[in-house]
Amino acid sequence: MADIERPQIYLITPPEIELSTYPDVLARVLDAEEIACVRLSLATRDEDRVARAADAVREVCHARDIAIVIENHMMLVERLGLDGVHLGDGGRSLRKVRKDLGTDAIVGAYCGASTHDGMVAGEAGADYVAFGPVGTTPLGDGSVAEADLFQWWSEMIEVPVVAEGALSDALIRKLAPFTDFFGIGEEIWRTEDPAAALRAFVAEMS
């Protein structure tokens, strides 16, 4: 359940990674603030590109004892030495994935703005449930995960919850009392100094 402690950071990589520069940028971000977990969230389906990116990101994360999960590529978790998987299907495949990966793997589910999907994922054994986007974005179907969803979840459900998607300073202040994690990604990667942008977000959480 969410409590009065500051939410933790769940860092989401950009959809495209430049392997010659991104590991250094990521290292600076991981050293700037305490990060609970990193999600490798790539647009490409090219297995070789995914594997090379995963190797680079895993090296940076594991050197700092930070877990790394991959979005949707469940078959690559063990092969690439990752810590788990983030499922984008509202948890519908979660029971099978949990069985395949075992109890030690991190398995999370993105559930949009659906409390029903979130509860199904939680009952299926999700380690966390992510709702979003919390802000307005041209992506997706226009639905937004409102603050009252997070408030209800934090009061009623034990499964940790992640707020992600189109975050702003104001939304972070609003949601901080009701979420366990903030899923922060494009909001910082598109800035000149991602580490400074992350520090600014963290300052809004307390």
List the pLDDT tens digit at each of the 206 positions of the chain. 344 589 999 999 999 999 999 999 999 999 999 999 999 999 999 999 999 999 999 999 999 999 999 999 999 999 999 999 999 998 899 999 999 999 999 999 999 999 999 999 999 999 999 999 999 887 677 789 999 999 999 999 999 999 999 999 999 999 999 999 999 999 999 999 999 999 999 999 98
3-state secondary structure of 67: strand
* Cα Rg, the chain, nearest whole Å: 16
pLDDT of the residue at 1: 34
Range 8-203 has CATH code 1.10.1200.10: no
Rounded CA-CA distance 157/120 in Å is 12
Query: What pTM was computed for the model?
Result: 0.95
From the list 118, 128, 133, the residue with the least C-alpha distance to 7 is: 128
Where do the DSSP E strands lie in 113-159?
Answer: 128-131
Q: Is 13 left (phi over 0), alpha (psi -120 to 50) or beta?
A: beta
pLDDT of the residue at 160: 98
Rounded CA-CA distance 87/90 in Å is 7
Sequence-distant (≥ 6) Cβ neighbours of residue 122 within 8 angstroms: 91, 129, 157, 158, 159
Question: Domain segments of the chain: what residues?
Answer: 8-203
Distance of CA 136 to the CA centre of its chain: 18
3-state secondary structure of 169: helix
pLDDT of the residue at 23: 98
Rounded CA-CA distance 121/107 in Å is 10
